[in-house]
């Protein structure tokens, strides 16, 4: 049976997508170098799906190791999550980010070429838009100057994939531009696993709720928004996972060789609204303080999701409370 290669499949979005793929009857192979994930996630995936899932601890910058995977397995399509993704870290270690994120992609595309693999789904990000001039953001908006080496690797990788797809007749590639993933699988067995102090808002909130952090610093209360705090389009990670299957199925029939889609809910929530949602679902009063702005943050962004609805037949279904309720369940299970 032909298989779907899921790179970074033990990571936050990769693991949730692996669950949805297996539940939908796909046979998958997960490769992950565990640089930003834990081997225990593999057992959890088998527990959730009640299926054995093939996993290889592979660094995608190792061409020989990558070649072996493709030589030993009949891979039909690839969903590529594996990448370094910490914005702040990318500023400190740009060469690590360019080497890892771009070499990995090129190694995979070379395998697509030599093994005639014609379906490729890429994990991209709304950071390619920078701070848009107007909202909501549609896919026709220009890509802005990246705010970080991490964001730049996403832009460069999209361009590499587009150029490669144009050089092949049958190769079909889709970039999925995530807005802000949040939440966790309903089982509470998998979720966001930030290593060290979380950069992202939602895990910092749940860790504060769990008493692991003293308080949440809200970065900026003087933005030009309804409550002065930043606005983001938070999307449930399970909705995001399901979108990858819709994209894989769309790649079967798409006319173009390359396309890209916003994956958001189309609704923006402020930082304070996220805090209030957490307080509502947890029954806790969160200790937070509004402090100075975080450099590199944009004021507000949320998606126009009509293209994914029309072409992929996909719409996000889970709301903010569901994200916070599942994230909190996951945090409590981690204790
Ligand atoms: C959201 C809002 C912060 C932490 C990043 C990446 C993006 C994507 C999603 C990968 C901002 C505020 C945060 C805190 C806070 N990742 N905040 N206190 O920066 O929108 O996007 O994650 O694809 O590429 O850039 O997400 O969760 O860090 O911040 O007030 O302790 O929450 O200022 O306004 P961001 P975030």
Q: Closest Cα to atom 33, ligand 1: which residue?
A: 219
CA nearest neighbour of 127 among 303, 314, 327, 307: 303
* Band of pLDDT at residue 130, cut at 50, 70 and 90: confident
If you measure from the C-alpha of residue 118 to the centroid of ligand 1, how many angstroms do you get, rounded to a whole number? 34
Q: Closest Cα to atom 21, ligand 1: which residue?
A: 180
Token digits of residue 86? 């910490």
**ω before 136 within 30° of 0 (cis)?**
yes
Alpha-carbon gap, residue 259 to 255, rounded angstroms: 10
Residue 2 has pLDDT above 80, yes or no: no
If you measure from the C-alpha of residue 180 to the centroid of ligand 1, how many angstroms do you get, rounded to a whole number? 8
Q: Give the torsion through C-alpha atoms of 321, 325, 327, 328, to 10 deg.
A: 130
Contacts of 310 (CB under 8 A, 6+ apart): none
Q: Is 218 in the pocket of ligand 1 (CB under 6 A)?
A: yes
Closest ligand 1 atom to residue 181 Cα is 9
Looking at the 3D structure of the chain, how many domains does it have? Answer: 1
For residue 129, tell me if it sits in a domain. yes
Task: Give pLDDT, residue 88.
Answer: 84
CA distances from 27 to 3, 185, 216 (A): 5, 20, 41
* Band of pLDDT at residue 29, cut at 50, 70 and 90: very high
Alpha-carbon gap, residue 139 to 303, rounded angstroms: 9
Task: Give pLDDT, residue 145.
Answer: 87
For residue 142, tell me if it sits in a domain. yes
Task: Give pLDDT, residue 296.
Answer: 83
Structural domain for 61, as ranges: 3-182+234-264
> Residue 310: phi, psi to the nearest 5?
-70, -45
For residue 301, tell me if it sits in a domain. no
**Active-site residue identified among 150, 250, 269, 288:** 150
For β-strands 269-270 and 231-232, DSSP reports them as antiparallel
Token digits of residue 160? 């590499």
Q: Closest Cα to atom 14, ligand 1: which residue?
A: 201
CA nearest neighbour of 219 among 231, 206, 207: 231
Q: Are 121 and 174 in contact (CB under 8 A)?
A: yes
CA angle 230, 315, 329 (to 5 degrees): 65
Closest ligand 1 atom to residue 180 Cα is 9
* Band of pLDDT at residue 195, cut at 50, 70 and 90: confident
Token digits of residue 185? 């699988």
For residue 284, tell me if it sits in a domain. no
Strands (E), the chain: 3-7, 28-32, 54-57, 75-80, 119-125, 172-178, 180-182, 216-219, 231-232, 234-236, 258-263, 269-270, 288-291
Alpha-carbon gap, residue 115 to 95, rounded angstroms: 30
We report the CATH number of the domain holding residue 86 as: 3.40.50.720
Q: pLDDT digits over 163-192, tens only?
A: 999 999 899 999 999 999 999 999 999 999
98 is catalytic: no
Closest ligand 1 atom to residue 123 Cα is 23
For residue 282, tell me if it sits in a domain. no
Work out the average pLDDT over 49-67: 98
Query: Locate tokens 């910490």: which residue?
Result: 86
For residue 248, tell me if it sits in a domain. yes
For residue 31, tell me if it sits in a domain. yes
For residue 153, tell me if it sits in a domain. yes
Q: Is 176 in the pocket of ligand 1 (CB under 6 A)?
A: no
Alpha-carbon gap, residue 103 to 84, rounded angstroms: 12
Q: Closest Cα to atom 31, ligand 1: which residue?
A: 201
Q: Is 162 in the pocket of ligand 1 (CB under 6 A)?
A: no
Q: Is 87 in the pocket of ligand 1 (CB under 6 A)?
A: yes
The three-class DSSP label of residue 208 is helix
């Amino acid at each position: 049976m032909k298989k779907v290669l899921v790179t970074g499949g033990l990571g936050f979005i990769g693991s949730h997508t692996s669950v949805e793929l297996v539940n939908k009857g796909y046979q998958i192979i997960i490769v992950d170098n565990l640089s930003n994930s834990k081997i225990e996630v593999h057992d959890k995936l088998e527990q959730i799906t009640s299926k054995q899932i093939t996993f290889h601890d592979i660094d995608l910058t190792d061409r020989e190791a990558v070649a072996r995977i493709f030589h030993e397995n009949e891979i039909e399509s690839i969903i590529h999550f594996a990448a370094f993704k910490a914005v702040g870290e990318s500023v400190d270690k740009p060469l690590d980010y360019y080497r890892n994120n771009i070499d990995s992609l090129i190694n995979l595309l070379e395998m697509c070429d030599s093994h005639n693999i014609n379906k490729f789904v890429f994990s991209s990000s709304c950071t390619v838009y920078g701070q848009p001039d107007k909202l909501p953001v549609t896919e026709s908006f220009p890509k802005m100057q990246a705010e970080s080496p991490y964001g730049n690797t996403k832009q460069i990788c999209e361009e590499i994939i587009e150029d490669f797809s144009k050089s092949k007749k049958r190769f079909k590639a889709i970039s999925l531009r995530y807005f802000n993933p949040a939440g966790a699988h309903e089982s509470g067995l998998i979720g966001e696993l930030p290593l060290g102090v979380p950069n992202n808002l939602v895990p910092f909130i749940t860790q504060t709720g769990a008493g692991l952090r003293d308080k949440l610093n809200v970065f900026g209360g003087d933005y030009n928004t309804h409550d002065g705090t930043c606005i983001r389009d938070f999307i449930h990670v399970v909705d995001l996972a399901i979108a990858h299957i819709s994209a894989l199925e769309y790649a079967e029939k798409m006319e173009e060789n390359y396309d890209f889609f916003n994956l958001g809910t189309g609704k923006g929530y402020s930082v304070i609204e996220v805090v209030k949602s957490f307080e509502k679902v947890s029954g806790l009063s969160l200790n937070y303080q509004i402090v100075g702005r975080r450099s590199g943050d944009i004021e507000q962004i949320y998606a126009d999701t009509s293209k994914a609805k029309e072409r992929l037949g996909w719409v996000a279904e889970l709301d903010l409370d569901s994200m916070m309720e599942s994230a909190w369940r996951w945090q409590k299970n981690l204790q």
